[in-house]
Amino acid sequence: MNLNALILCMTMGLYGLFTGTASAQVRNPILPGFYPDPSICRVGKDYYLVNSSFSYFPGVPIFHSTDLIHWKQIGHVLNRASQLNLTNQGISEGIYAPAIRFNKGTFYLITTLIGGGGNLIVTATNPAGPWSDPIWLPEINGIDPSFFFDKNEKAYIINNGPAPDNKPLYDGHRAIYLQEFNLKTMKLTGPRKVVVNGGTDLSKKPIWIEGPHLYQKGGAYYLMAAEGGTGEDHSEVIFKSDSIFGPYESFSGNPILTQRDLPANRPSPITCSGHADLVQTSKGDWVAVFLACQPYAGNFYNTGRQTFMLPVDWSGDWPVILPKGKAIPEGVIIPTVSGAGQTTFYNYSTNWKDDFDQPELRLDWNFIRTPKEKWYELKDNSLIIQARSVSITDKGNPSFIGRRLQHANAEMTTALKLEKGKDMEAGLVAFQNESFLYKLVVEEKEGKYFLGLSFPGPNSVIILKAYSEITDYQPGDYLFLRMTVIGKKLMCFYSLNNQKWINFGTEDATKLSTSVAGGFVGAYFGLYAFAPSPATATFDWASYKKIE
């Protein structure tokens, strides 16, 4: 079935579900690439969405939309070292599961820094920033905190924590905790209470109840959380109570979102769905954002966990994001009016180029951990990177500026030149973590130029996949490099003129997948430079393109 037919069927199936009459089409994922753990809030006609960023800096990308369809990044919440000081954390440590909420003129973002200070709050009156320095919450033992502002003007923090009394009954036994928060003192107050123990049914040993959020509707409190772990058994479940501290009843129809019960051999599968958040439109309809994955084969995906959207059926007593047995659609109708003359983030991401002609780096670019010094410069429509003696395989802050791999089939291309007379290397890196990456670099050594393709082996020993001198390269000219991923294959190319491309090697792209590399992040393409003593690499431009 083609996308238009699918959307038509879904439109007919959703007729009457929305309280308003307006509806529009959205394409999933709404944020392609490594944008996991979405949280969303609405202020008037404006929607704001944030994601986990782990050990990339700046932390917590924040997006804005007025119609839930066209999303544009407006900044990062944690963009100063005083807010986020990432030093030697693993790439899958760092910032976990931020939650964004708005109350009486102030935006509140609460999150967890793994491998650092734990749970923290930052605030802002403008979601584009600046955001405050963190207020730390050492009393919270756990992760995935979220704010809830009650209609009685009290505030609460809910989070995933250890099993009651730190006595787990089985592996993966966790609990959901709730405590009041004083907005004047910005401190927790009152008793801390377990409101969900284990999950939907403790006797069935549910695992990894996490990512909780609270909502209020019709006088009742609804507690929504992820359950089942972040893999293919991932799901979203819901509980209900007449009192904020419970007891909470588990919905008999749980889970309200999962793909674990679908055939593994279904075409174009979307998997691992969960970690959702809900938002109510100004017309009273409800919409869910959540993470999910798009494997290109088996359980291999290099793009990480992405942000998806679905309308919520809350016509009864319980919200349902997706009926059991239904596949997450790529095209879906949501209750909104599409803004005219705007570009979706999905379309923006398919054909992208940076000519480095702006005074600041574009928001698409990230560093690995927090830079302690500014080692790059935007000058004369170029990006100049100082090659430093921090390797891409080190747990530090290498001279790497990267952007997300956002599609199973895509290519990244750049033009670069090296500072003459310096022993150094610079080029492209396809990065998953320090042990799983591919490096395509030009190396200058004793006045000669070489091209190398490598991968880290055991004990961080670099394995050269290909290496040869570029005898026809003229120093001072630009050299063009390209990395292309087509599902399981990574192909590397170089050119002297950006017209004739020479294949320099084909490698196993599954090594960039979560299944092989482990962890929670997606792959990046990045610009990189290294030298034992000060040197510079100049990048004239960089482009990224989805391959159909």
Longest Cα–Cα distance in the chain? 76
What tens digit of pLDDT does each residue of 492-540 get? 999 999 999 999 999 999 999 999 999 999 999 999 999 999 999 999 9
Rounded to whole angstroms, how far apart are CA atoms 49 and 40? 4
Q: Do the Cβ atoms of 466 and 506 come closer than 8 Å? A: no
What is the pLDDT, as a whole number, of residue 19? Answer: 56
| 242 φψ region: left (φ > 0), alpha (ψ -120 to 50), beta (else) | alpha
pLDDT of residue 7: 40
pLDDT (tens digit, 9 = 90+) per residue, 315-361?
Answer: 999 999 999 999 999 999 999 999 888 999 999 999 999 999 999 99
Is-catalytic flag, 210?
A: yes
- Per-residue HEC secondary structure of 20-78 comes to CCCCEEEECCCECCCCCCCEEEEECCEEEEECCCECEECEEEEEEECCCCCCEEEEEEE
How far is the C-alpha of 520 from the C-alpha of 360, rounded, in Å? 29
How much is the pLDDT for 248?
98
Catalytic residue among 67, 210, 236, 419: 210
Average confidence (pLDDT) over 4-9: 41
Would the pLDDT of 3 be above 50? Answer: no
Give residue-wise pLDDT tens across range 13-65: 443 355 555 789 999 999 999 999 999 999 999 999 999 999 999 999 999 99
Our answer to whether residue 444 is catalytic in this structure is no
Determine the Cα–Cα distance for residues 452 and 429; give it in Å rounded to an integer: 11
Q: Tell me which H or E stretch contains 502.
A: strand 502-508
Res 93 pLDDT > 80 = yes
- pLDDT for 17: 52
Cα Rg for the chain, rounded, in angstroms? Answer: 24
Average pLDDT of the residues of the chain:
95
Residue 223 and residue 182: Cα distance in Å, rounded? 21
Tell me the per-residue pLDDT of 99-145, one tens digit each, with 9 for 90 and over: 999 999 999 999 999 999 999 999 999 999 999 999 999 999 999 99
pLDDT in tens, 279-320: 999 999 999 999 999 999 999 999 999 999 999 999 999 999
Inter-CA distances, 372 with 45, 367, 392, Å: 39, 11, 16
pLDDT score, position 523: 98
pLDDT at 470 over 90: yes
Cα gap 148→333, rounded to integer Å: 28
Nearest to 213 by CA among 385, 50, 445: 50
Q: Which domains does the chain have, with CATH numbers?
A: 1-30+283-335 (no CATH), 38-282 (2.115.10.20), 350-546 (2.60.120.200)
Residue 218 pLDDT greater than 60, yes or no: yes
- Residue 154 pLDDT more than 80? yes
Instruction: Give the model's pLDDT for residue 459.
Output: 76
Q: What is the pLDDT of residue 18?
A: 56
Q: Cα-flanking dihedrals φ and ψ of residue 465, to 5°? A: -90, -30
Which position has the higher pLDDT, 153 or 4? 153
CB contact at 8 A, 392 and 365:
no
Mean pLDDT of 73-82: 98
Judged by average pLDDT, the poorest of 9-23, 217-231, 401-415, 500-514 is 9-23
